[in-house]
């Protein structure tokens, strides 16, 4: 998906793997904080339940 906004995430439980169109992947676990910048094309998957805090900023 293409992010039309900034999304900041902090994982509390579980893990997610973020991947981009080029095939690059990175896995984040509990305590990780990461930002998906506006315009990023990426996706994420998880095979376990995830609990996260997230915030979205839509630039004007």
Query: In 3-state terms, what secondary structure has residue 47?
Result: coil
- Give every CB contact of residue 6 below 8 A, 6+ residues apart in sequence: 35, 36, 37, 38, 56, 57, 58, 59
Model pLDDT, residue 60: 75
Q: Which of 54, 58, 57 is nearest to 9 (CA)?
A: 54
- Its pTM stands at 0.81
User: Could you report the per-residue pLDDT of 5-42, keeping only the tens digit for each?
Assistant: 999 999 999 999 999 888 899 999 999 999 999 999 99
User: Could you report the per-residue pLDDT of 39-57, keeping only the tens digit for each?
Assistant: 999 999 999 999 999 999 9
């Amino acid at each position: 998906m293409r992010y039309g906004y900034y999304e900041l995430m902090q994982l509390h439980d579980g893990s997610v793997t973020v991947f981009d169109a080029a095939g690059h992947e990175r896995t984040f676990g509990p305590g990780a904080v990461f930002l998906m910048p506006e315009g990023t094309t990426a996706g994420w998957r998880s095979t376990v339940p995830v609990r996260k805090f997230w915030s979205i900023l839509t630039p004007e």
